[in-house]
Structure 1
């Protein structure tokens, strides 16, 4: 029973991967748009947002909490990623994606976790920012599938880790 449930889940994940993944010959504008979205979830941007917030008196507290959420979500994601060792999509292994994968393991998505951790923590402190940051975090997640380096379940798991981390830190 357990094996068949996991098998069905992975089959659906693969089905949705192929439905959501973009063709490598999409127009240059869209290619650049999704590449930009994916980089918004990378370490350079997410860490810069946290550090930048530390220098603004009004956002200092939120930036400190966001930095902790980012670090915790990153650590949890990396521990799970190394434990599960799920291979990235075949397109990534063949080099037919629109972006190079940062490592060889797929589950969960670190970019999705990072973007959502930053968005969720800032949104919890400044709800008006959430209107902008949360949709961007969702687009970062979609970009990882669209560019061929993650399965949808990887993205959902990364974002769930971030949301749980942010929620628990907010309670603390």
Structure 2
């Protein structure tokens, strides 16, 4: 078996195990996390709280988080998903209640994870305490996407990397604009 085939096999086994059982806390929190993460509602809500709670620091963290989330969503959903099509985990692995909310788009990469990690990674340097809370929420979103049968672990990992790249692009934007545009 080649390296890539071995990685795909391991990814499938991890997904099947996580969907079938997974940690108890994920099963209990999954419905609320899934609902909050749909259409980036969680991150827009967090941005609103940041703006209301902490003046300039909150506004700056919220703006960075939203910009990184948007960048990550474009990179994930408009670029990566079109370059690489992947089927989602087989429906027979997924409990019937979780199947009704399963998207039809490519499984790779996870747009939810990209948005979550992008927001958290961009907000953290501006407001570390809020960034830590957002990071914990991003991990819960990532766990739920695998546990709910929407993604393989590698889809979520790739989404996380795209989110981190989105945050890095947002942090580099002022420098890049000064250097190459202005």
User: Which category of TM-score, normalised to the shorter sequence, fits these structures?
Assistant: 0.7 to 0.9
Q: TM-score normalized by structure 2?
A: 0.78
Q: Greater CA deviation, 35-44 or 12-21?
A: 35-44
Structure 1 residue 92 displacement after superposition: 7.3
CA distance in 1, matches of 2:44, 2:158: 21
**Root-mean-square deviation over aligned CA pairs:** 2.8
Distance 1:30 1:133, change over 3 A: closer
Q: For the structure 1 residues 44 and 131, does the alpha-carbon distance in structure 2 shift closer, same or farther, using more than 3 Å as the test?
A: closer
Count of residues paired in the alignment: 168
Per the alignment, in what secondary structure is the counterpart of residue 105 of structure 1?
A: coil
Q: Are the counterparts in 2 of residues 77 and 108 from structure 1 also a CA contact under 8 Å?
A: yes
CA distance in 2, matches of 1:91, 1:38: 18
Aligned residue for 2:2, secondary structure, equals helix
TM-score in terms of structure 1 length: 0.82
Q: What is the correspondence of 1:4-19 to structure 2 with a 5 Å cutoff?
A: 4-19=2-17
Matched with 1:20 is 18
Q: Deviations over 1:121-172 (max 9, x none)?
A: 1112111123322122111101111111110000000011111221232233
Contact conserved, 2:20 with 2:93, CA < 8 A, in 1?
Answer: no
Give the stretch that moved more between structures: 54-63 or 4-13. Answer: 54-63
**Structure 1: runs of 5 or more not aligned:** none
**8 Å contact from structure 1 (residues 41, 137) kept in 2:** no
Q: Map residues 116-127 of structure 1 onto 2, 5 A cutoff.
A: 116-127=117-128
Following the alignment from structure 2 to structure 1, what is the Cα–Cα distance between the partners of residues 128 and 142?
A: 21
Structure 1 position 103, deviation (Å) = 2.8
Question: Which stretches in structure 2 are left out of the alignment for 5+ residues?
Answer: 174-182
- The whole-number CA distance in structure 2 between the counterparts of 1:163 and 1:67 is 13
